[in-house]
Amino acid sequence: MSSLVLTDGLIIALTIMSISGVAAWWSRNILEDINKVRVFVFFGVISAIWLFWSVLNGK
pLDDT digits (tens, 9 = 90+) for 3-48: 667 888 888 999 999 999 999 999 999 989 999 999 999 999 999 9
The reported pLDDT for the residue numbered 6 is 82
pLDDT at residue 1 tops 50: no
Euclidean distance between CA atoms 30 and 35, whole angstroms: 13
Has this prediction a pTM greater than 0.75? yes
The reported pLDDT for the residue numbered 59 is 57
Give the gyration radius of the chain's Cα atoms. Answer: 14
Sign of the alpha-carbon torsion through 30, 34, 35, 39: positive
pLDDT at residue 53 tops 50: yes
